[in-house]
Amino acid sequence: MSDTPVTPARPLPPSLPGQSQPESNGSGELRFRVIIVAFLLLSVFLLWWSFIRVLTPRMKESRNLTTAVARLSSQVDDLDRQWAPADIETVTNQYALVPSHLFSDQMALDLWLAGLKDQVNSLALTVKADFGKTTTQVEGEEKFGIISASNSVDIGNAPLDGQMASPYQRLLRLIQTISTQEKRADLMELTVAGGTNSIYHATLGYNFWTAGEVTP
């Protein structure tokens, strides 16, 4: 029996300085799982933040807008039921006549004051008018001027149309003349001074409406 020579095993080459050994499979798998869990937690947080801070307020705002639209639609329907086409046409025609009921300029106001003076003389009254400053009143897209006037009226006994009219009757006729004229005048104040059976003085506060800048 012949002896077979045995080849000795080659030794492993030595590792170079600074070269790290490969990590084990268990350590790499653990790191991968940690990264996956971190991404999942971040995704859950982003979903929660989007729902609480973004989606929920938008949903609330949408519900409020839907409610407001429904309320306005109901109001429009109510107006449609209340206003017939004939009523709308009447209001439109009356609105077109608004400028004719306003003092357009200084001349229009002077003419009205002259006419009022004739009425006062026929009623045997003494009236002193004190006009204030013109203020601006905005109604929709229209702009108007309002002149405040305080009228001091002295009343005495005097015959009217051949008969003796009481001071009360003459004051009421003056108020009716001013309030029922074509030009708009709103009675804002009425103060009366007198005795037990009659009156001798009254103060009338009026607002006169103008279509432009009118300075009395």
Predicted TM-score of the model (pTM): 0.49
Contacts of 145 (CB under 8 A, 6+ apart): 134, 135, 136, 137, 209, 210, 211, 212, 213, 214
Contact indicator for 188, 132 with CB cutoff of 8 Å: no
**pLDDT per position in the chain (216 positions), as tens?**
455 555 555 554 555 445 455 555 667 788 888 888 888 888 888 888 887 877 788 888 888 888 888 888 888 888 777 777 777 788 778 777 777 778 777 777 778 777 777 778 778 888 888 888 878 877 767 778 888 888 888 886 655 555 557 888 888 888 888 888 788 888 888 898 887 778 888 998 888 888 765 555
Looking at residue 42, its pLDDT comes to 86
Contacts of 134 (CB under 8 A, 6+ apart): 145, 146, 147, 210, 213, 214, 215
Looking at residue 51, its pLDDT comes to 79
Cross-strand partners of 185: 208
Cα–Cα dist 65/85, whole Å: 30
Cα–Cα dist 105/170, whole Å: 30
